[in-house]
Amino acid sequence: MNYNIILAGVGGQGGLSVSVLIANAALTAGFQVKQSEVHGMSQRGGEVVAHLRIADYEIQSPTIPKGAADLILAFEPLEALRYLPWLSASRGMVVSSLTPIRNFSAYPDTAEVVAEIKNLPNYRILDAETIARQAGNVKAANICLLGAAADLLPLKADSLRKQIELYFSAKGEAMVMANLKAFDEGRNKYGA
Amino acid sequence: MPDFVFSGDEAIARGAIDSGVSAAFAYPGTPSTEIMEFLQAHWDEYKATLSDEERAFVVAQWCSNEKTAYEAALGVSFVGRRAMVSMKHVGLNVAMDPFINSALVKINGGLVIVVADDPGMFSSQNEQDSRILADFAHIPCFEPSDQQEAYAMVRDAFAYSEIHEIPVLLRITTRLAHARAQIQVSPGMAPRALKKCSDPTAWTLMPGFARPRWRLLLKKYERFRADGEELAKLELRDKALGVITCGIGLKYYLENEDDWAALHGDKRPSHLHIDRYPLGRDKIQDLSNYVSKILVIEEGYPYIEREIVGTFDAPLPVLGKLSGDLSLSGELTADSVRLALGLAPLEALAASSIELPSRPPQFCQGCPHGDSFNALKAALQDEAEFLTTSDIGCYALAALPPYNAVESCVDMGASIGMARGASCVGQKNAVAVIGDSTFYHSGMTNLLDAVAHRSKLTLLILDNSTTGMTGAQPTISPGSRMKTLIEGLGVEAAHIRELEAHRKSHDINVAAIREELTYDGVSVIILKRECLEYLKKVRQQ
């Protein structure tokens, strides 16, 4: 078994946190894990991408080869499109937020970006931001997207919930509840 | 021992702790920063394992720059204890003087230098390959291929350093530094006892003493070569292709090996993996006698490839970066290695049909630098002639739209030297822009030159109380002493201005910059306000 995830977003969206959460759940389930991310200048409001590889055998490359990703989990729709060449033609799925972050002038037309995602063979697109806001914290949009992808992962939803609790416990009960709710709402929408 | 999930940087830091390191020194620089961050975060835990008298004499410190870090490490080695110094690749340029000369001294306590190269320039100005600098210095270089090896190699490097009385350079690259994997750790060692080197002439590199040390080093270097040769792993398998790997190149090769075998009747290429330099020759020669073609997979410059091309008894094609089978620039990937192995790409989705412009990095919302550059631009608005040099840090982003406010970013401290040089030969309105951490690192000596020669120069120090770009590490000196420091360097008090880098002070700041531009001497304008990342970090602690 191997499962490769590209987590794509913009600096500050919490993409790396989701990567850590999934990785911890995978380790707990006894899988091997390799995770690759980039720090430094590229993080300042620019693109942030993490590669997460899960397998039941020794993983070699720390990054996912092109055509080998099972899932692009995108916290921003334009960023979803950026990594399409990494997605497996036969089994790749894009789970993306609907909300663009238009923080540069050359950003294409939003409708065009969304239409491009909807042209893909396998996609799930959701307004994670609104769902998260209704769940109690707009910042939980990343966890909502994780929920929407939960049934695709080789992990039990309960083990992800457990990791969410652990991860946010230092930030207080309200934060844990909002994130769990956002996760469950994401699952209800798609990943149940 | 349980598994830990560590990045390469963290594995190295843990390796140092488990080697009984007495002192670690560093200056922040991507992708090496997390080594010291991990050490500092776990230092109390480490100290708790030590005896009462040991506990007072272990340190993990940020330093002014890589040179001061390196020299402090040399002192630790002289008195018999283990030291590690870590930096990014261009940091080794700053530490080049102690680095090269430390090959000649009689290392006492183990000295390990960790250098993180940045192929692909994720957060750097070049792709220089530290293996070549190790060779230049005649210092042995170890190169791990994953996090587990990185951990183990730190321990091996300390031992090797002490046995052979030589510093050891551990070379890693961005992907290894920042990727995480499970590693197993071994029981820790206690720090070595304080025991000064009994042979001070071996540390006194005056010509008379240095000559025999150099002759000894030349002899030792061949020993290092033989040791590296012994550890290189050679498997003679299929004759059609011999693959030479080193560092993380191994992982990209292994990612594709099964697919190669599937296309070649289940045979696998012959394979030589090298993890220590200087480069041994015998196994490369054995491989070349056995196969009809060689592919070299190495991250960074074509260092091995250049060493071996044309050296074989019979003509033999060598594929790699010089041959164009892999790219000379950028980092290796499993994909580029796949193509070089002659394999078809995996079946992937097509790229998006709409154009995807890259998302430029930019200042955080409310960053003080933005306000400083707005003031600078307004002050220069009516000037026909000006030069704005800048430096290494977040503020170099002002070279991009929407600011387009600075015209250079070359190396740590260069903004001041360049503005001074340009001003000396007639450039009007020469303005240098530097951050506080970079100023302490390498700006102060340039400012001293400007004072000594009464250069006409306006220096903006963007003092945000931290080393921001690398994730808000503390600066070596507090901002409260900045003005005194600059006065001490000889800048006239009347031309040192302390201002707040804030929108609401815009008019005052613009007026102050304009006034100082007219001054026929050295002016320093300190624009102060804390970095937002730094404030976030402080609040979290």
pLDDT band at B1 (very low <50, low <70, confident <90, very high): very low
In this prediction the ipTM stands at 0.94
Q: For chain A, where are the alpha helices, taking DSSP H only?
A: 15-28, 77-82, 110-118, 128-135, 141-149, 157-168, 173-186
The alpha helices in B95-245, defined as continuous H runs, are: 96-102, 130-137, 147-164, 174-178, 207-231
Q: What is the pLDDT of residue A38?
A: 75
Contact between B532 and B468 under an 8 Å Cβ cutoff? The reply is no
CB atoms A32 and B252 under 8 Å? no
Domains along chain B? 3-229 (3.40.50.970), 232-340 (3.40.50.920), 368-540 (3.40.50.970)
Closest by Cα among B471, B456, B515, B330 to B31: B471
Per-residue pLDDT at B2: 53
Phi, psi of B150 (to 5 degrees): -60, -45
CA of A174, closest CA in chain B: separation in Å?
17
Using CA coordinates, name the residue in chain A closest to B396: A41
Residues 6+ away with beta carbon under 8 Å from A13:
A48, A75, A76, A101, A141, A142
Q: What is the pLDDT of residue B360?
A: 83
In chain A, which residues have their Cβ closer than 8 Å to the Cβ of B180? 23, 33-36
Distance CA B389, CA B326 (A): 36
Report pLDDT digits (tens) over B65-121. Answer: 999 999 999 999 999 999 999 999 999 999 999 999 999 999 999 999 999 999 999
Helix H or strand E encompassing B527: strand B522-528
C-alpha A145/C-alpha A98 separation (Å) is 10
- In chain B, residues with a C-beta closer than 8 Å to the C-beta of A84 are 348-352
Q: What pLDDT, on the 0 to 100 scale, is given for residue A190?
A: 87
Q: Which of A27, A42, A66 sits opposite B122 (nearest CB)?
A: A42
**Residue range B352-378, pLDDT digits in tens:** 999 999 888 889 889 999 999 999 999
d(CA B172, CA B70): 18
Q: How far is CA B526 from CA B372, B441, B462, B485, B521, in A?
A: 10, 16, 6, 12, 16
SS3 B453: coil
Neighbours of B539 (CB within 10 A): 7
Angstroms from A163 CA to nearest CA on chain B = 15
Greatest Cα pair distance, chain B, in angstroms, is 81
Domain range summary for chain A, segments of one domain joined by +: 2-191
Q: Residue A145 is which amino acid?
A: L
- What span, in angstroms and rounded, lies between the C-alpha atoms of A47 and A31? 28
Give the pLDDT score at A40: 55
CA B451 to chain A, closest CA, distance in angstroms equals 33
Are B335 and A87 within 8 A, CB to CB? no
Give the tens place of pLDDT for each residue, B36-48.
999 999 999 999 9
Tell me, yes or no, if B261 comes closer than 8 A to chain A by beta carbon: no
Please name which of B469, B507, B485 lies closest in space to residue B378, comparing C-alpha atoms: B507
> Length of chain B in residues, anyone?
541
Q: Using 50, 70 and 90 to split pLDDT, how confident is the model at B310?
A: confident
Task: Report chain A residues whose CB lies below 8 A from the CB of B364.
Answer: 44-45
Q: What is the mean pLDDT of residues B113-142?
A: 97
Q: For residue A144, give every residue at least 6 positions away whose Cβ sits within 8 Å of its Cβ, in sequence order, or none.
A: A126, A128, A131, A132, A135, A182, A183, A185, A186
Predicted confidence at residue B101, as pLDDT, reads 98
The answer on pLDDT for A12 being more than 90 is no
Cβ–Cβ gap A35/B181 under 8 Å = yes
In chain A, what residues touch B348 (CB-CB under 8 Å)? 66-67, 84-89, 92
Which B-chain residues 110-129 have CB contacts (< 8 A) with chain A? 122-123
Chain A residue with CA closest to B392: the answer is A41
φ/ψ bin of B311: left (φ > 0), alpha (ψ from -120 to 50), beta (otherwise): alpha
Which B-chain residues 455-474 have CB contacts (< 8 A) with chain A? Answer: 469-471
Convert the pLDDT of each residue in A26-55 to its tens digit.
999 999 999 998 765 556 678 889 999 999
pLDDT at B314 over 90: no
| Residue B83 buriedness (CB in 10 A; 0-12 / 13-18 / 19+) | buried
Which member of B176, B179, B345 has the closest CB to residue A67?
B345
Q: What is the pLDDT of residue A11?
A: 84
Amino acid identity at A142: N
Q: Answer yes or no: do B359 and A46 touch at CB < 8 A.
A: yes
Inter-chain CB proximity B348 and A66 less than 8 Å: yes
% of chain B at pLDDT higher than 70: 100
For the domain spanning A2-191, the CATH number is 3.40.920.10
Q: Could you tell me if B220 lies within 8 Å of chain A, comparing CB atoms?
A: no
**What integer best gives the mean pLDDT of chain B?**
96
CB < 8 Å to B469, chain A: 40-41, 44
Instruction: Report which of B457, B466, B464, B461 is spatially closest to residue B526, judged by C-alpha positions.
Output: B461
Give the pair of three-digit tokens for residue B418.
């360049």
Interface test with B, best of A24, A48, A53, A60 (most B CBs within 10 A): A60
How far apart are the C-alpha atoms of B423 and B431, rounded to whole Å? 9
Q: Categorize the per-residue pLDDT at B540 as very low, low, confident or very high, splitting at 50, 70 and 90.
A: confident
Instruction: Check whether B185 has a pLDDT greater than 90.
Output: yes
Are B410 and B438 in contact by the 8 Å Cβ rule? The answer is no
Structural contact between residues B377 and B429, judged by C-beta atoms closer than 8 angstroms? no
Query: Taking a C-beta distance cutoff of 8 angstroms, is the pair A131, A185 a contact?
Result: yes
